[in-house]
Amino acid sequence: MANRTETRTERAHRTIHAGGEWLAASSGATREILDPADALPFTVVAEGDEKDTDLAVAAARRAFDTGEWPHTPVAERAALLRRVAGLLVRDREELGLLESRDAGKTVEEGRVDIDCVADAFRYFADLVAGEAPGRVVDAGSADVHSVVVHEPVGVCAMITPWNYPLLQASWKIAPALAAGNTFVIKPSEITPLTTIALIDLLVEAGLPAGVANIVTGPGHTVGARLAEHPDVDLVSFTGGLTSGTKVAQAAAATVKKVALELGGKNPNVVFADACETEEGFDTAVDQALNAAFIHSGQVCSAGGRLIVEESVRERFVAELARRARKIRLGRGTEDGVECGPLVSAQQRAKTEDYVASALAEGAELRCGGKRPEPSPQRPESGYFYEPTVLDHCHREMRVVREEVFGPVLTVETFRTEDEAVALANDTEYGLAGAVWTADAGRARRVAGRLRHGTVWINDFHPYLPQAEWGGFGKSGVGRELGPAGLAEYRESKHVYQNLAPKPVRWFAG
């Protein structure tokens, strides 16, 4: 890996990849990438703009219209995806560390991310390799051969977030390539490094020039241009609701396909019967911590809304807060650290504002609510914030309605099953949720009534590449992963062949 690392270091500011070449920004602009653990810069990337975006789109357009990739046999496309998975496994340690330094998460979280990325590439390779070439349609006549086939959409624009840079990129890139598309990806301008590294791996795996293109730069220039670009056939965006709405509006003028994953405000519903045994209580509390505080709560599916039955509320919240105080904060690369910093000063300030508003609106602070004391593992300049539990919350509070994307857990209570479901569904989002109960019938009833794209029963956070991911309501449009995730990157075509053509004689002349 040393030689490839040296190559990436030497090219430093040349992080735009278009038509098979690594380029500097046309303007010469660069951006420093900061380590959120100490706010110090540790590398530099190109700061692309509309001109760079147009160059990358043109390369992707040529590669699709005149290149070989869209016509490459499915078995060969699948084999390339599997080679990429193998390269990810080979480079797991380096990429996991890079993800940790870039996004602030622990190295172990980074390693798990790389494993999941490799799984996504393998899954879509297996999915396309095992498909029938088309669906035969019964036209009701032996003289007609009718089949529905699937073809690539074309040039795909991908805009990915800062919290899971490589994972979110893989959920788009793997199915797009499996389907035969070309693409231009814009990673978050603050966490672009592992996506840049993935382009290197795609090239190493043998992907033809122009199929994979990347432009590093901000959303208001690069992202906006991708969304509106007339030569882009599909735009897939993962990020916040406000930005996603702008992407959809920009894409509407050219009537391109749009897929949006816009986050959530995810309920974690705990019934008293889940806590009747010490083991059940311990598990539910432990999972509530995981739901809210993994990656400092910077997860679109974070269980930031604890909705707990009133009879067990005090015991549950007291134990939850006790354990939350013991979470070891620090630099993600340090041994023993369980939770890293927030990704930026802006994200920490946003979290602080939500906590302040909640307290002003009557919430009770059970733990956290402040920056931790500095230590060798937690430099004062880093973007650290203590895991925070806010009790006595209600739906009218901003912190309950809006996505915080920080280590903040709000507590609401209920008395009846109907009230629990009503609270869990009382959100404009609908990405994910969970129900904890020892009653199998109740588990199925509640899961069936929750208006969320993923519902966990007695668990939180696991996902499977073979199962669709996406949300109801303002959590977005379309799905990633699973067969539907592949379908997003395809067009369906009906081919109708008359095997015995003859005159219709509709017109007498």
DSSP 508: -
CA distance 220 to 224: 5
Q: Is 403 exposed, middle or buried (0-12, 13-18, 19+ CB in 10 A)?
A: buried
Chain CA centroid to CA 282, Å:
29
The C-alpha atoms of residue 323 and residue 340 are separated, in whole angstroms, by 16
Distance CA 388, CA 365 (A): 8
DSSP-derived letter for residue 207 is P
3-class secondary-structure state, position 169: helix
Instruction: Dig out the tokens for 225 from the structure.
Output: 């241009």
3-class SS string, 358-406: HHHCCCEEEECCCCCCCECCECCCCCCCCCEEEECCCCCCHHHHCCCCC
Question: Residue 70 gets which letter from DSSP?
Answer: G
Q: Which of 261, 309, 319, 488 is catalytic?
A: 261
Q: Which residue has the tokens 């991708």?
A: 226
Question: 92-103 vs 74-90: helix axis angle to the nearest 10?
Answer: 70
Instruction: Report whether 77 contacts 173 (CB < 8 A).
Output: no
Map residue 57 onto helix, strand or coil. Answer: helix
Q: Active-site residue 261, yes or no?
A: yes
Rg of the Cα atoms in the chain: 24
Cα separation, 244 vs 406, in Å, equals 20
* Closest residue by Cα to residue 261 from 481, 5, 55: 481
Q: Which residues are catalytic?
A: 261
